[in-house]
Amino acid sequence: MKVIAVSHGSYSKGLVDSVQMLVGEQESLVAYGLFPEQTVATLTEKLEKEINDTPEGEEILFLTDLFHGSPFNAVVSLMRDHEFHHITGINIPLAVEVMMGRYADKSAEEICRGIMEAAPDTVKYVNDLFDDEEEEE
């Protein structure tokens, strides 16, 4: 399965680098960013080339940073002509979950369903955690 991270700026590159730091070097994990000097059309062309360069039969999972952002819209525009899976709102813990799902030979759909279940646990309001501890004492 190929995993393609797409974001505003260099977030996707940092995401990929961080994930590889945590779980080791990954094959078929690439990052694309949309920078101010680029157009959405240019990004879309690069992503379509990445899709077309993927061996037939290999699943593709896109990870985007922001719902309704320009990178998200570029990926969505490709869904008309290409079959792949797409998760948006990605963060490091969820990206690690994606890689662990690949290790477990899960399908892209299984990984996406698991990500949706894990998502609420990836963010915490730390002040509440301390408040809960104080209440227990």
Tell how many helices (H) and how many strands (E) occur in the chain.
6, 4
Q: Could you tell me which residues are beta bridge partners of residue 63?
A: 5, 87
Neighbours of 39 (CB within 10 A): 11
Whether 85 sits among the annotated catalytic residues: the reply is no
For residue 15, the number of C-alpha atoms closer than 13 Å in the C-beta half-sphere is 29
Q: Cβ distance 55 to 48 under 8 Å?
A: no
Query: Using CA atoms, how far apart are residues 85 and 111, in angstroms rounded to an integer?
Result: 10
Catalytic residue among 8, 68, 82, 86: 8
Which residues are catalytically annotated? 8
